Amino acid sequence: MIRLDSLRRGCVLAAALFALAPVAAAGPYSDLIVFGDSLSDVGNTAYWTAGVFPGADYYQGRFSNGPVYSEHLSAGLGLGVLTRDGVGGDDFAYGGAETDGPGGFSGLFLNSLVEQVDAYLDRLGGSEADPNALFVVFIGANDLLGGQTNVATPAGVVQSQIERLVGVGARQLLGINLPLLGLTPDYLGGSSAAAISATTRDYNNALSGVYDTIETAHTGVTFHRLDLAQTFSEMIDQAASLGFTNTTDKGQQAAGGDLDGAPGYVFWDGVHPTREAHALLGEAALRAVLPAGDYNRNGEVDQGDYAVWRDSYGARFDASLGLTTGLQADGNGDGRVDAADFTVWRDAWQAASAAIPEPATGAALTALLFGYVCGRRRS
């Protein structure tokens, strides 16, 4: 049993250590450049189709009922509002886009991945890319939905386009694989669900090989990876604890045109996630491109991260209540901020603070946790 005077001493030491914590610095990335399809699009396809796609029951040209993961990623990195490239923004993604070719909406103006990279290089005008910018490549679903079963073809296009980006100076990359398409309402329970999921796995395996090849060939490139197949499957498996009440149906139909009318749904339409699901995917993307335990998102693991954990302790994601905030200290991605996330930070901080003599580091960390517990018990 911990005596009250011990808890008070822990409180005092924790407060002293917190006072020495550095002020949060600017984030580790100078810009966010996004290439992809409808899961990343913030309005390109809507603009070029005069709003015909995605249509009226969607949020401001997104293929969802709210902001998409790339917007959460941009905001979380402190880079502000992500806008489409047509207005000078850095989101080059188009809903319906394939890696190469005309895309998912026949006869309409869409930029494939190849054309998206073309547009970015045209903007550079022969100059070098910003080596501190983060480049996201997340595409391939429309190739598979369009019947492509030779996964080496779209994976090869992804490789060639990433090589083009690296060739002009891109040094920070995030590669995202595909969620299993057989889990979407358009396929779930149908005769082709197993086949499309198997093709998705094959494509993801091919992408993994592409990423390995690029990392080996370019030692100066940092290649972050987000296993969205695993992340999305875990989200569905743990749906109840995250506040999701429906993982199989289209929220759009249940909502009757009301963008706020389907709380608790994972999917907005037959293949696209809801804003709540996108919020979690955005958090997963942030964990993929930041050091473990970097809760203040400045690119370093320091004592300032403890303050973020402390202030958000007890926060949890509840899809049935709509979007939530305060989850940036969810270090293990389980949708809540708890003692396990302190452990994530503690272990990372100890590893990053090897110059601090032991056992002082361990004692300080214990004091930080005791200090927080003290405050909770006395409140």
As a whole number of angstroms, the longest Cα–Cα distance in the chain is: 74
Question: How many angstroms separate the Cα of 224 from the Cα of each of 45, 174, 201, 212, 215?
Answer: 27, 5, 19, 11, 10
Q: Please list the ranges in the chain whose pLDDT falls under 50.
A: 1-25, 355-363, 366, 370, 373, 377-379
9 SS3 class? helix
- Cβ contact 367:10 at 8 Å: yes
Helix axes 360-378, 4-19, angle to 10 degrees: 110
What span, in angstroms and rounded, lies between the C-alpha atoms of 66 and 234? 22
pLDDT value, residue 2: 35
pTM of the entire predicted model? 0.88
pLDDT tens-digit readout, 47-56: 999 999 999 9
Sheet holding 172-176, edge to edge: 32-36, 134-138, 172-176, 222-226
Q: Which domains does the chain have, with CATH numbers?
A: 4-24+295-378 (no CATH), 32-289 (3.40.50.1110)
pLDDT on residue 368: 52
pLDDT at 105: 61
Residue 103: the pLDDT is 63
In this predicted structure, what is the pLDDT of residue 322? 72
pLDDT tens profile 100-115: 987 656 556 789 999 9
**CA–CA–CA angle 210, 216, 218 (5° rounding):** 100
Q: Residue 7's pLDDT is what?
A: 36
Pick from 107, 64, 61: nearest CA to 84: 61
